[in-house]
Structure 1
Amino acid sequence: MNTPRTVLITGGNRGIGYTIAEEFVAAGHRVAVTARSGSGPEGSLTVVADVTDPASVDTAFTTVEAALGPVEVVVANAGITKDVLLMRMTEEDFSSVVDTNLGGAFRVVKRASTNMIRARFGRILLVSSVVGLYGGAGQTNYAASKSALIGFARSLTRELGGRGITANVIAPGFIETDMTAALPDDVQDDYKKVIPAGRYGSAAEVAKTITWLAGDDSAYISGAVIPVDGGLGMGH
């Protein structure tokens, strides 16, 4: 049995983030999620936060700390996409995606790190994407933001590794969500042809990887990129 921890997941009100929160709750941890709207699963505390606003992030942490104790595991999952070809991409298309996906991770991890350093324990988990390494046409903004999390995690590992803190990146591939379910059948079939596993992953498969990386057995893994993509991104 893993030691029960206080866990904060950003963007935990839907999709993969919601499933990650469910998995941590089921494993007996004290779980909080941030959301701009909606709420996390039963058994979790939901705090309203906008990861692009440092004051909002600080308030969310203060609320969680008062209710559940210092955050020991942080999962930077909140992210947005604004897919458009480079020639048509606006400054706002680029800056808003980078500020949410990369800047949001920076703000959340910076705020979490203070207590982690004091406690000499912490698990920092950054949700990237296979696209961060594989690339995606029309996704220069998104891919850049997701790739940047790797340099961020590896620098964190060098800064904080001696204090019992790990920082790892999870790179999901195509995962079964409402978004992928809405794709036409022929498009889905084309995607599945390039995935060696021949299928999409489940959000639970991503969540179980994250809960394992947050647990007692993974203390010597840091600065790693863990793909959960059915082999799609091999060699990247």
Structure 2
Amino acid sequence: MLKENYEEVQKKITEACKRAGRNREEVTLIAVSKTKPVEMLSEIYDLGERNFGENKVQELTEKEEVLPKDIHWHMIGHLQRNKVKYIAGKVALIHSVDSLRLAKTISEEAVKHNCEIPILIEVNVAGEESKFGVSVEETLPLIEEIAKLPAIHVEGLMTIAPYVEDPEENRPVFRKLKELSVDIAAKNINNVRMAILSMGMTGDYEVAVEEGATLVRVGTGIFGERDYSKR
């Protein structure tokens, strides 16, 4: 079942790229493996997947220890400052930076661990009170401050769109994030690239791809529904 799910997601990404006139190579799938056992991750790994996303630091570090070392781990969940030290040097990308205080901690830990840490700024495009992320208006001023910090690099933006029945409803959200990234890129800020747009999840990743996503975060579409009772 996992193989069929995985191949179906890859196929849909390819088709969305075609509709948008994009190269398939522009979009990377992240298999969101939170709450899923190592055996399931290994099965997806054996199909060629190397990008896995986790929401919790402890789960990420436990899996990172036992799974192959060529996996790129993505921290996609809300990150507390006191947990940063556990993932410094272990993550390929932190998607969820939404404050200068968090960025400063990441920078300090990167220096301590003698590594560079790429990050994305989480933008709450839809302005949902239940979601983390900075407002569209706050994004540029925050990036300008983070850009001054050592050993941390802003690579782009991330958003979690609202939960909707019809994915088309999120098209304006994705479009807005893309426009914001273009505006920020035009500022040519040192230590800032807008190469990555992390947007789109199981319910709406095809629309996100059509609107310019370079990373899509798919969990349920690959692994099935999550079982939170095991946590």
TM-score > 0.5 by shorter chain: no
User: TM-score normalized by structure 2?
Assistant: 0.38
User: TM-score normalized by structure 1?
Assistant: 0.37
